[in-house]
């Protein structure tokens, strides 16, 4: 289960995602993005969650 704070921002808008990844290195991030490209999986980059427009709320795919 993905923690809710990765699925919403300060607007209260809530998204959904298939998986959450927290890469520990640039190489790991690169590999994740490469795999997402190969599988045509949408990726949302989770920032601090202070936005109020819902831009960091995933609409499927992966959250990084």
Contacts of 22 by beta carbon, 8 Å cutoff, 6+ apart: 64
Output the pLDDT for position 47. 85
pLDDT over threshold 90, residue 62:
yes
Contact 19, 63 (CB under 8 A): yes
Whole-angstrom distance, CA of residue 3 vs CA of residue 32: 20
pLDDT digits (tens, 9 = 90+) for 14-60: 999 999 999 999 999 999 999 999 999 999 999 888 999 988 899 99
Output the pLDDT for position 30. 98
């Amino acid at each position: 289960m993905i923690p809710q704070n990765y699925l919403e921002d300060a607007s209260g808008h809530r998204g959904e995602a298939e998986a959450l990844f927290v890469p520990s290195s640039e190489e790991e991030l690169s590999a994740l993005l490469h795999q997402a490209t190969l599988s045509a999986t949408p990726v949302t980059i989770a920032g601090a969650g202070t936005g109020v427009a819902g831009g960091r709320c995933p609409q499927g795919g992966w959250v990084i």
